[in-house]
Structure 1
Amino acid sequence: MKSKLIVALFIGVILSFTATAQNVTVSGATFPTKFKISDQVVEYNGAGLRTKYFFNLYVAALYVPERTSNAQTIIDQNVESAIRLKILSDKVTRDKFVETVKEGFATSTDGKATEKEIQDFMKLFNVEFKSGDEVILLYKPESGVEAYMNGKHLGGAKGLEFKKALWSIWLGKTPADEAVKKAMLGKV
């Protein structure tokens, strides 16, 4: 009886460790270490906390097929990848999000996105944002960037050049936040 209890406890400890090893938590936001895009498994590369005026706004996590700290490789690759944003503050409103991403496109150093493509993409985010929301930006070579909010598919934008411009907002030569870029690249 005693040996069965010890074995059960040991198995319980192993299973709980395995379950927690499948997630990573950064600044209170939890992300899976892997997930599937189409038939490709992408891995957690890193995540960083975006702050502004002492407010914790969101955590951005990067997923790629193979971990790397080379931002240009990630931007240029025509392979499945994703950026997941966990909203931490009600200060991140739909209007502020749209405005910030548009500003990011203006300073983006890679790819090409026309004004119409940017406007059409930003129209996808026509829902209110609140703390706890999750935005997922997936890139699939066959269809382009797809946007999801809280698991709901919002739409997308075609083409590798659009993905390069969008990913460059966080990973380019003039990112929205240098500390977030370094963290997403696993350099922290």
Structure 2
Amino acid sequence: MNKINKGASKMKKLLLIVFGVLFLSKVSYAVNVDGVNVKNTLMLNSTQLQLNGYGIRHYSFLGIKIYVGALYTQERVHSTEQLLSSKQNKVIVMYFVYPNVSKDKVIGAFKEGFRDNYPSIIGTSEEKSFLNFFTHGFKKGDSIEIALLENGNTQVYENGSLIGQIHSPELQKAIIMVYFGPKPPDKSMKEGMLGK
């Protein structure tokens, strides 16, 4: 009887150690940035993507924080050229930290980014379809995930739920250029997302 109790006791200790290690591993898989838990990995269509880098989008000279931007890739990239030439899956995530960002502000920011970094996409059906995915504003705690798939599809998610998909390699380039072109929304965020 004592042997059974000792065996059960050892098993309990082992389980506690295993669960403790699993819990610590889970915690270590997130980086806390301004109250946002930025995951170290993302699963996309059964492909695991690694966090390439992250940064904060500031607005105006006052340094108002709007969102935490994160880039996930299959292989590390450190330049816009590498991103554009890569045919692998990648995801750009915007984790909102500002209390309320209107739909018009989000759409306006993308329009400005296209104009400044990839003007050939302006007025196309792809641009219109992409911008039409954003039907309302976003609040603190919300996220937009833009998945750029290797087959040329762009999938847009809101808080993990798919809100639209477009097949257009050209749109993918335009979206990459919004964040990583010569005139990004925030230079320090661009560098952070590129892991610099």
Task: Bin the TM-score by the shorter chain.
Answer: 0.7 to 0.9
Q: Which amino acid aligns with 1:115?
A: G
Matching of residue 167 in structure 1 with residue 176 in structure 2: yes
User: Would the alpha carbon gap of residues 70 and 54 (structure 1) be closer, same or farther in structure 2, given more than 3 Å must change?
Assistant: closer
User: Would the alpha carbon gap of residues 114 and 78 (structure 1) be closer, same or farther in structure 2, given more than 3 Å must change?
Assistant: farther
Consecutive unaligned residues of structure 2, counting only runs of 5 or more, are 1-5
TM-score by length of 2: 0.84
Q: Which amino acid aligns with 2:29?
A: Q
Which residue of structure 1 lines up, in the alignment, with residue 188 of structure 2? 179
- Number of paired residues? 185
Equivalent residues of 1:46, 1:183 under 8 A apart: yes
Equivalent residues of 1:112, 1:162 under 8 A apart: no
> By how many angstroms is 1:101 displaced?
0.8
Q: Which amino acid aligns with 1:104?
A: G
Which residue of structure 2 lines up, in the alignment, with residue 96 of structure 1? 105
Equivalent residues of 1:108, 1:166 under 8 A apart: no
Which residue of structure 1 lines up, in the alignment, with residue 123 of structure 2? 115
Q: Distance in 1 between matches of 2:81 and 2:172?
A: 12
Cα deviation digits, residues 95-122 of structure 1 (max 9, x gap): 101101110011115x952413212211
Alignment counterpart, residue 142 of structure 2, candidates 133, 145, 154: 133
Root-mean-square deviation (CA, aligned residues, Å) is: 2.1
Equivalent residues of 2:115, 2:122 under 8 A apart: no
1:31-46 alignment runs, 5 A limit: 31-46=38-53
Q: Which has the larger radius of gyration?
A: 2
Cα deviation digits, residues 15-74 of structure 1 (max 9, x gap): 232111222222221122112222322111011011113321100100011112122111
Alignment counterpart, residue 88 of structure 2, candidates 75, 79, 84: 79
1:13-24 alignment runs, 5 A limit: 13-24=20-31
Equivalent residues of 1:82, 1:138 under 8 A apart: yes
Q: Distance in 2 between matches of 1:8 and 1:142?
A: 43
Alignment counterpart, residue 59 of structure 1, candidates 54, 59, 68: 68
Consecutive unaligned residues of structure 1, counting only runs of 5 or more, are none
Aligned-residue sequence identity (percent) comes to 26
User: Would the alpha carbon gap of residues 114 and 103 (structure 1) be closer, same or farther in structure 2, given more than 3 Å must change?
Assistant: closer
User: Would the alpha carbon gap of residues 82 and 112 (structure 1) be closer, same or farther in structure 2, given more than 3 Å must change?
Assistant: farther
Q: Distance in 2 between matches of 1:158 and 1:46?
A: 26
